Each structure stands twice: as C-alpha cells, then as structure tokens.
C-alpha cells in the first residue's frame, strides 16, 4: 500500500504517541454532556450547566498563539471554537501534554474530547475554555482543505464521484449535507406518523421473492443454494401487501427497499426506497385526497410552508392540485388526440414526434413514451394524471364509466413521477387475463413485462375487498423536498462503478 507524504507523517506521529504512552484509540468511555449547537443557541453565563461542560468532536482548524491556541471542533450538530492554554491543561511543570502532544502530534481531522467552561471572547464569539484534553482517535488521512477567497469557499471535494463514493468525508467537510439527510428522515417520519394516526399497520414483506411482480421492471436475479431455486430481489411489494388485505387487514403500508436492474441516471438508482399503502373499501379518488393532504403536511413540517424552492421553481404543495386525464394531458401538450388510435397509428405519432419505438412496444408502452417525452417535463407544480389506458396498467381496476381505461393516477412534480395509485384490480379472472397479456409482451421481447403469479391469483380467488393502493418514491420526493438535483444527493451510499486504484478493483 502506498501512502502520501502527509499519510506517512501522520503514521510517524502515531508511533510517537504510542512511545510516550498515549493510546491514540482509547477504549474507555468519554462522557459527553452537551453539543455545539446547544451551547451556541442557549449559552447563559448565569446557568451552571455551562460552567462544567464535556464535549467531543473532530478538529477542523487550529490557530497557534505560542503557549495557547484557538481551534474549532465539529460534532454531529455543528462547529464551536475552543480556547486551549498550555498552563490550563498541564497542571504540573511537565508541559508534555501541550507542547508535544497537542502542538506536534495532534492534527486537523483528529477526534478529541475536552472539558471546561463556556465564555465569550473579546470578539464576541461563544467559545469553550478548555481545562482538560484527551485524544480519542488519530486520523491517518488528512481532510480535504477548505479555502476561502473573497468571501467564497473553495474545497477539494468538488468531484461528485468523490463525494458520493466517500460520503463519510463529504459529511465532514461539505456544509448542509447532514441537513439533507435529516430532512429525509423527517419526511419519512411525517408520513409514518400520518398513516399511524389513521390506524394503518406498518408491515414487512419479503425482499427475496420466487416471482417478481407489482411493477413493470427488470429484476435482479439470484440463487438459493439450499433450496436450489432461483429468487429475485423484489421490484415492488404490491402483491404481498394485497395478500394482507385479502387476509383481513383494512390498511397496511411498508417503507420498502426495492431493486430494479435497469439504467442509472440522476433520477434512478438500482436500489431505491418507496412507501406502498393499501386501504380496503377505498378507491383512487379517495387516495388522491390522501396524497394531497399527506404531502402538504410533509412540506409544512419540513419548511413551515407549503411552498418549496426546487432549483429555479417555487413548487406549492397546497391543496387542491391540478388534474388531467392521460389523454387530456397528451392532447394539451401535443395537440394530438390519441384516445381512439390503434398501435399502428400510435407508432406513426411517435415517428411524427421523433420518439424512438421498437417492435417490443405494445399500445400501452407507446402511450407511456409519448407522455414521458412530451408531457411530463412540463408538469412542474404537483399535478394528478388520471384514467390510464388499460394496456398500461395490468394491476388496476377497469374504469367504472370509461371503457378501455383504468382507475389509476400518477402525481407528477418538477417534471417527474413521484407517486402511482390504483383502484386495485380484485377480479381474479380479469387479473389472470391481464397477466397473460403481459406474458405475450414478454414473448415479443419486453423484458419489463410482468410474470404470472399463480399464488397471487389464488389469493384473489378467496376475495379481496375493493381497495385503493399507492406507491410513493421516497428518493425522488426527498430530492424535491431538499432541493437536490440528483438522486445520489439524497442517498448516503448510491451505487457506483467499481473504483480503479493501482490496477486493483476496490468495491
């Protein structure tokens, strides 16, 4: 293994620390009783809690003043300044702890624990006067250097691939990254609390499945050695959740990790998170109202308002949202009424609109391509697209009054789908016919066509009540709610190509 000059120096310092009897990775507990943000927000010189504090964090900068120094440490809440004086942390004539350990063997990036009291400096900065110091972890790699020029910050972590691959460094040095992930958790907790208050049950369903289903997607495939059988990483949890509705639950939901063996982009990661919800005795109209109410609540909880800035767009989640049928949206944005067109006519429209087609595409896929290319990018404010052609929706119930359509909606926001919902198909005979149509598409080369799931059909034959179903993409919703341009910015560890280093592959 090759080391940089700085890495070699730090390893030499590690050896020196061990020689003078200081463990650079001590095992004993260091009792922390406060945080940087708590001190900065609440300091009052009259309060006794600030007269004896204990805090730990990573050294981010040091300003040496001879027999004293100022340094900044960063804990999980933020940064705070320390004032360290040699005579305070060295109670005897032996000044080793300060002169050798702190000044010579401790580096930026090291994690330390300090005890002392809070005070205000002459320049008005809330700081900690250190009375005791302990090295808790020696950093063997230097942090990227953050520089300032003309009031602007420049840092060496300007390569997105570096940030995503070494997220642990990104979290240390890039301002605002932790807040993005805290908001993602807050978003999920808001949804969870909303659904719990309605009495719906959070459940878990299998990730490894003998048959994949619930969406049109290509799966990851694996093999179970003991059972000697092929298994798939789930592309959706829909069919299992609907089995639970058959079993007698009135409302179930799951935050699920799903996997699709498809292309990657700033909107797609092979592993992603969604929430699926199924409620008995409801329909898609009812579910539209729930989505509006729940996401309006999410926006308010995260931002204190229904308005969210996303890039150059100010998006308002206040109810009610605009609604188009699928055919209305296509006619609105293209001027073409496709509602009565055959597959051949749709191919001609795609050619006219310069949309790529291939022989595997049936009528539903062609309509989806037209909508995705010519409508979706224009839908910035939250908008419901309703009443899809039956060919596009193998799991949705036929429309109660519009032949050839199903009771389905998608919510589109900032030009991308964020949720999908049906009045769920509960007719087992119709469902079997839809699955068989999907098998025919598979024979034509559509590798996203659904499989025929006999056990799910058996469940439907026992009777499933009228049900409304919903799926919301947590990653895309998080992008919008935290104003991030890429899905990689809202995933701690997005999928990356193998790292090439010294002719060796590092995963």
Are 114 and 181 found together in one domain? no
Confidence of residue 435 (pLDDT cuts 50, 70, 90): confident
Task: Summarize pLDDT for 349-405 with one digit per residue, the tens.
Answer: 999 999 999 888 888 889 999 999 999 999 999 999 999 988 888 888 999 999 989
Least confident of 100-114, 328-342, 441-455: 441-455
Are 19 and 112 found together in one domain? yes
Are 101 and 214 found together in one domain? no
Are 33 and 81 found together in one domain? yes
Q: Is 370 part of any domain?
A: no
Are 308 and 259 found together in one domain? yes
Average pLDDT for residues 40-54, to the nearest whole number?
96
Question: What CATH number is associated with residue 423?
Answer: 3.30.930.10
Q: Provide the number of structural domains found in the chain.
A: 2
Q: Is 354 part of any domain?
A: no
Q: Which residue has the higher pLDDT, 99 or 209?
A: 209
CB contact burial 142-170 (16+ within 10 A = b; e otherwise):
ebbeeeeeeeeeeeebeeeeebbbbbebb
Are 316 and 464 found together in one domain? yes
* CA atoms 97, 99, 104, 109: torsion sign: positive
Are 182 and 107 found together in one domain? no
Q: Is 19 part of any domain?
A: yes
**Burial classification of residue 70, based on how many CB atoms lie within 10 Å of its CB (0-12 exposed, 13-18 middle, 19 or more buried):** middle
CA atoms of 29 and 136, how far apart (whole Å) = 10
Are 215 and 313 found together in one domain? yes
* CA atoms 421, 327, 432, 427: torsion sign: positive
Expressed as residue numbers, the domain containing 216 is 177-321+381-490
Alpha-carbon separation of residue 124 from 45, 121, 127, 155, 214 (angstroms): 13, 5, 9, 27, 60
Phi, then psi, of 408 in degrees rounded to 5: -140, 150
Question: What CATH number is associated with residue 89?
Answer: 2.40.50.140
Are 316 and 448 found together in one domain? yes
Confidence of residue 448 (pLDDT cuts 50, 70, 90): confident
Are 224 and 106 found together in one domain? no
Q: Is 137 part of any domain?
A: yes
Give the global pTM. Answer: 0.89
Are 288 and 436 found together in one domain? yes
Are 88 and 209 found together in one domain? no
pLDDT of residue 150: 63
Q: Is 339 part of any domain?
A: no
pLDDT of residue 505: 37
Task: Summarize pLDDT for 92-138 with one digit per residue, the tens.
Answer: 667 778 888 888 999 999 999 999 999 999 999 999 999 999 999 99
- Angle, helix 343-352 to helix 363-374, in steps of 10 degrees: 30
């Amino acid at each position: 293994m090759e080391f940089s000059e700085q890495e070699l120096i730090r390893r030499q310092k590690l050896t020196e620390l061990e020689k003078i009897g200081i463990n650079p990775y001590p095992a004993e507990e260091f009792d922390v009783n406060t945080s940087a943000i708590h001190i900065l927000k609440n300091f009052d010189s009259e309060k006794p809690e600030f007269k004896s504090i204990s805090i730990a964090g990573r050294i981010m900068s040091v300003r040496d003043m001879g027999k004293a120094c100022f340094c900044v440490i960063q804990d999980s809440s933020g940064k705070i300044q320390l004032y360290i004086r040699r005579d305070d942390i060295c109670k005897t004539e032996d000044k080793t702890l300060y002169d050798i350990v702190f000044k010579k063997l401790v580096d930026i990036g090291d994690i330390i624990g300090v005890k002392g009291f809070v005070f205000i400096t002459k320049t008005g900065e809330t700081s900690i006067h250190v009375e005791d110091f302990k090295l808790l972890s020696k950093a063997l790699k230097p942090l990227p250097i953050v520089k300032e020029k003309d009031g602007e910050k420049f840092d060496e972590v300007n390569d997105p691939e570096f940030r995503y691959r070494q997220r642990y460094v990104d979290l240390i040095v890039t301002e605002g990254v932790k807040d993005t992930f805290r908001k993602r958790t807050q978003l999920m907790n808001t949804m969870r609390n909303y659904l719990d208050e309605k009495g719906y049950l959070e459940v878990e369903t299998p990730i490894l499945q003998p048959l994949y289903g619930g969406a049109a997607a290509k799966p990851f495939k694996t093999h179970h050695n003991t059972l000697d059988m092929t298994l798939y990483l789930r592309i959706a949890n829909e069919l299992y959740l609907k089995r639970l509705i058959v079993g007698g639950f009135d409302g179930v939901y799951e935050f699920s990790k799903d996997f699709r063996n498809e292309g990657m982009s700033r909107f797609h990661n092979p592993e992603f998170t969604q929430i699926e919800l199924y409620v008995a005795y409801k329909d898609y109209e009812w579910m539209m109202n729930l989505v509006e109410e729940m996401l309006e609540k999410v926006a308010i909880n995260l931002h204190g308002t229904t308005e969210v800035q996303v890039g150059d767009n100010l998006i308002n989640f206040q109810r009610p949202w605009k609604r188009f049928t699928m055919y209305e949206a296509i006619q609105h944005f293209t001027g073409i009424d496709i509602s009565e067109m055959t597959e051949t006519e749709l191919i001609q429209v795609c050619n006219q609109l310069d949309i790529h087609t291939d022989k595997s595409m049936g009528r539903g896929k062609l309509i989806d391509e037209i909508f995705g290319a010519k409508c979706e990018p224009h839908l910035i404010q939250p908008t419901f697209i309703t009443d899809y052609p039956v060919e596009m929706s193998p799991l949705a119930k036929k429309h109660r009054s519009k032949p050839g359509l199903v009771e389905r909606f998608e919510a589109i926001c900032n030009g991308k789908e964020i949720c999908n919902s049906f009045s769920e198909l509960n007719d087992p005979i119709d469902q079997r016919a839809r699955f068989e149509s999907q098998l025919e598409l598979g024979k034509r080369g559509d590798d996203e066509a659904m499989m025929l799931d006999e056990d799910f059909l058996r469940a439907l034959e026992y009777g499933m009540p009228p049900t409304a179903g919903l799926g919301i993409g947590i990653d895309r919703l998080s992008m919008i709610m935290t104003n991030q341009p890429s899905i990689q910015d809202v995933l701690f560890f997005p999928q990356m190509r193998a790292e090439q280093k010294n002719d060796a592959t590092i995963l």
